[in-house]
Amino acid sequence: MHQDLTLAKAMVTPSRAFQDAGMLKRNNVLTADRYGAVRRVCVVAEDDASWSAEFQRRMASWSPGTEVRSLQGADHMAMLSKPTDLSDLLVEIANM
């Protein structure tokens, strides 16, 4: 378990996804016409002590058309608490 935590900490890096938000706007990547063109799925971590499952579902409802899937026994870091179950669920979602 200690080795898993050490590995997880080493793998975490800052996200660069939206550092150049101006580029996204200039290239019309994010537009009202394109909103909803990509299927969205929210995975609810049922045992998250930080955000209740109810609140996670409410957040998902703020993005119309988002499918909600549950991950039983997962806490706030599902990739650490239920890695196999999360992986299986993501593969299932990808294959739909």
Torsion of CA 55, 73, 79, 58, to 10 degrees: -10
Q: pLDDT tens, 19-43? A: 666 665 666 666 777 777 788 999 9
Q: pLDDT tens, 37-62? A: 788 999 999 999 999 999 999 999 99
pTM greater than the 0.75 cutoff: no
What pLDDT score does 91 carry? 96
Provide the residue type at 56 as one letter: Q
* Residue 1, token pair as written in the block: 């378990």
Q: For residue 5, what pLDDT band results from cuts at 50, 70 and 90?
A: confident
* Residue 79, token pair as written in the block: 């990739």
